[in-house]
């Protein structure tokens, strides 16, 4: 009797093991099919690039490989990135522009440079021509009796004005723009909001709170199963996508979204000294342009958020004080003009395609009415 029970238990265990192995095998087969399907192409790229540590990395938030490492800028746009339509939207220099600038100085061609963060890059807009810099280029072509206009989108999601200034100072004498447009503001508060609130002082260069994107460190955080099994890859991939894990977390050593309380505490660290070093970047943009005789247009940023409202009002007020038309420095107060922004934003700050179009139309009208881009802005 005892022997019979033993063998029955043993057979039961064997069946359990066989069923378990069969389920794992079936799970791997199904996961492999899902993983290799066209709809999961972005997920394949995410793991392929991250685990192989190739150049051209990821945006964990969307598996889009949108970002790449950069030695001075924390991160930049990945030249190898393709949008959901299979189009490359970044050039080899990490600009959201299809051209590698080979013909920007052709006779009869004029260049406009746009700087900013995700609201200028236009995070949730797939095609370059539907971003507001893209629409602005089209609007110039349709409405101005002027040379061919190329509008260069020099923005990267998550960038502060400091990172935009670093890029611009490196490229201004290469690109030789006829006009510079700056649409910044909210991202200048990111180092205060996203960093550890126990840090009492934020350095002007953000050296104590901001770090360079390192894909090796992100790869080490992947669960073991997602490294070696298709089931793990698919399940973790779905988890990451659902949880909206943002690649910028790695820049600030975050492990979770910033809470409302953390956001408020972080913003409270902005005092007179911090306001001074923030606005100094905008003065530096102005000086670089003034020294080269380039008109510069600051556009105040619209952000729909109770928490950010007093800080956005303050930074926009300080930006407006930079206007000096004798020095060809202009300010278009978009934030004040558009009280009702309903339908123009996906969230509190990012343009919808319709929002990008309307924004570009108003910026173009301001330029034509005030800066005379069809004449005085043309560099000879």
Per-residue pLDDT tens for 40-97? 666 666 666 555 443 333 333 444 467 888 999 999 998 888 777 778 899 999 999 9
- CATH number, domain 103-193+267-370, options 3.50.50.60, 3.40.50.1110, 3.90.1300.10, 3.40.50.300: 3.40.50.1110
- Three-state DSSP class for 73? coil
- Predicted TM-score (pTM) of the model is 0.81
CA-based nearest residue to 190, from 345, 308, 79, 16: 308
The token duo for 1 is: 């009797």
The token duo for 88 is: 């490359």
Q: Is the pLDDT of residue 146 over 90?
A: no
Residue pointed to by tokens 């800028």: 73
Distance in angstroms (rounded) separating the CA atoms of residues 356 and 350: 9
pLDDT of 107 reads 66
Task: Please tell me which of 9-23, 77-91, 206-220, 321-335 the model is most confident about, judged by mean pLDDT.
Answer: 321-335
Domain ranges of the chain: 1-81+212-251, 103-193+267-370
Residues 6+ apart with CB under 8 A from 329: 286, 289, 290, 295, 296, 298, 322, 323
Higher local confidence (pLDDT), 344 or 232 = 344
DSSP type of residue 185: S
Distance in angstroms (rounded) separating the CA atoms of residues 344 and 349: 9
Contact between 246 and 293 under an 8 Å Cβ cutoff? The reply is: no
């Amino acid at each position: 009797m005892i022997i019979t029970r033993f063998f029955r238990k043993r057979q039961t265990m064997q069946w359990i093991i066989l069923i378990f192995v069969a389920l794992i095998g079936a799970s791997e087969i199904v996961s492999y099919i899902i993983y290799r399907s066209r709809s999961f192409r972005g997920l394949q790229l995410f793991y392929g690039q991250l685990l192989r540590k190739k150049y051209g990395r990821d945006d964990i938030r969307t598996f889009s490989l949108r970002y790449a490492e950069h030695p001075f800028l924390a991160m930049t746009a990945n030249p190898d990135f393709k949008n959901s339509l299979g189009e490359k939207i970044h050039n080899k220099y990490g600009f959201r522009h299809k051209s590698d600038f080979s013909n920007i100085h052709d006779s009869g061609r004029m260049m406009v440079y746009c700087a900013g963060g995700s609201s200028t890059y236009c995070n949730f807009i797939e095609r370059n021509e539907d971003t507001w810099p893209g629409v602005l280029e089209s609007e110039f072509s349709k409405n101005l009796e002027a040379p061919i206009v190329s509008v260069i989108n020099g923005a990267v999601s998550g960038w502060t004005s400091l990172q935009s200034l670093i890029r611009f100072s490196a490229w201004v004498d290469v690109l030789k723009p006829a006009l510079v447009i700056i649409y910044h503001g909210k991202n200048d508060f990111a180092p205060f909001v996203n960093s550890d609130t126990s840090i009492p002082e934020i350095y002007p260069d953000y050296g104590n709170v901001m770090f360079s994107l390192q894909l090796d460190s992100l790869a080490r955080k992947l669960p073991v199963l997602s490294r070696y099994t298709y089931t793990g890859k698919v399940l973790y991939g779905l988890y990451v996508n659902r949880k909206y894990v943002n690649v910028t977390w790695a820049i600030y050593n975050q492990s979770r979204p910033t809470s409302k309380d953390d956001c408020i505490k972080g913003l409270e660290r902005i005092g007179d000294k911090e306001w001074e070093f923030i606005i100094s970047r905008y003065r530096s943009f102005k000086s670089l342009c003034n020294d080269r005789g380039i008109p510069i247009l600051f556009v105040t940023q619209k952000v729909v958020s109770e928490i950010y409202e007093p800080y956005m009002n303050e930074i926009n007020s300080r930006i407006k004080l930079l206007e000096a038309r004798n020095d060809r420095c202009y300010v278009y107060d978009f934030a004040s003009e558009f009280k009702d922004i309903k339908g123009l934003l996906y969230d509190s700050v990012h343009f919808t395609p319709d929002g990008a179009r309307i924004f570009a139309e108003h910026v173009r009208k301001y330029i034509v009415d005030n800066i005379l881009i069809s004449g005085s802005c043309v560099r000879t």
